[in-house]
Amino acid sequence: MQYQWYPGHMTKAKRQMQEDIKLVDLVIELVDARVPVSSHNPDIDEIGKSKSRLVLLNKADLADESKNQAWCEYYKSRGMYAVRLDARNRAGMKEVQNVIQEACKEKLERNRRRGILNRPVRAMVAGIPNVGKSTFINSFAGKACTKTGNKPGVTKGKQWIRLNKNVELLDTPGILWPKFEDQTIGLHLAFIGSIKDELLNRDEMAVELVKELLSQYPGVLAARYDLLESADPTEVFSYIAKNRNCLKKGGELDHAKAAALLLEEFRSGRLGRITIETPSLETIG
């Protein structure tokens, strides 16, 4: 299977980010906790190399909690700050606030030593499409925050959201495009629904997902679909179609329907909290 993205948008977005990055002290990168490798674009390591880094393992509510923890440890071991998050839930934002303070401690301290007392640190949210950037900005900024930089007479300035007296957030996120360095990345992004299904062969994708689940979460499919024992992904996929009565008019199995069903159940978390990529098995950058 081939996965494509749109190079024109990519170049423009990257250029924008290279401009915006100059304005901030901290980069807050969202990744999808189910596939932290595939949903990370390594360009950000280069673009944000002189900045403090905070990784938000977003959609952590859909991911395996033990792996969420393993990923947090992984990022910390690489000198980054990390928080697992459900961006839809405002309750998690307090922790993010605290970690931002921690991540910017040195900068604030440096300012203080120079007698600069009222300059907030500035942060930018970045990530590939669909990881939850807008959801996060909305939850995080909330209603209490005031927008700055859009005063009458001051046009074309960047919009900043003042979170508190210490931190301001750039209100437009930096959009990174996924980097399809190999087919696995495309496949994993397709599993979580970050690539339009219409572009793909869904049956093939579903069989690949079955293969992944059989190896990483044995028992999950058997329990959900009351399956017979089998190690053959194609066979298991057919069992799922039978179990869910995905049949065409003549009684033949309707694989397209079964694929849509399986992917939907995986994406919505109905198969349980599942993480496809683990830090011990994967490498970043």
Q: Is the dihedral of CA 126, 98, 59, 32 positive or negative?
A: positive
Point out which span in 3-11, 15-23, 80-88, 100-108 binds ligand G4P (CB under 6 A): 80-88
- The verdict on 127 binding ligand G4P (CB under 6 A) reads yes
Size of the site for ligand G4P (CB under 6 A): 16
- Rank residues 140 and 237 by Cβ distance to ligand G4P and give the closer one: 140
Q: Among residue numbers 131 through 150, which ones bind ligand G4P (CB under 6 A)?
A: 131-135
Q: Whole-number minimum distance, CB 258 to ligand G4P, in Å?
A: 22
Cβ pair 177, 13 in contact under 8 A: yes
- Give whole-number Cα distances, 222 to 204, 244, 246, in Å: 20, 13, 17
Cβ pair 217, 20 in contact under 8 A: no
Contact pattern from residue 15 through residue 34 relative to ligand G4P, giving x for each residue in contact according to CB under 6 A and a dash for the rest:
--------------------
The DSSP H or E segment spanning 167 is strand 167-170
- The verdict on 161 binding ligand G4P (CB under 6 A) reads no
- The verdict on 87 binding ligand G4P (CB under 6 A) reads yes
- Rank residues 58 and 238 by Cβ distance to ligand G4P and give the closer one: 58
Cβ pair 149, 157 in contact under 8 A: yes
Closest chain position to ligand G4P (CB): 132
- Rank residues 29 and 212 by Cβ distance to ligand G4P and give the closer one: 29
Which two three-digit tokens encode residue 207? 């069989």
State the DSSP code for 12: H
173-203: b (≥16 Cβ within 10 Å) or e: bbbbbbbbeeebbbbbbbbbebbeeeebebe
- The verdict on 40 binding ligand G4P (CB under 6 A) reads no
Q: Which amino acid is at 252?
A: E
- Rank residues 86 and 277 by Cβ distance to ligand G4P and give the closer one: 86
- The verdict on 62 binding ligand G4P (CB under 6 A) reads yes
Which two three-digit tokens encode residue 44? 């950000």
Which two three-digit tokens encode residue 140? 């995080």
- The verdict on 68 binding ligand G4P (CB under 6 A) reads no
Binding site for ligand G4P (CB under 6 A): 58-59, 61-62, 85-88, 127, 129-135
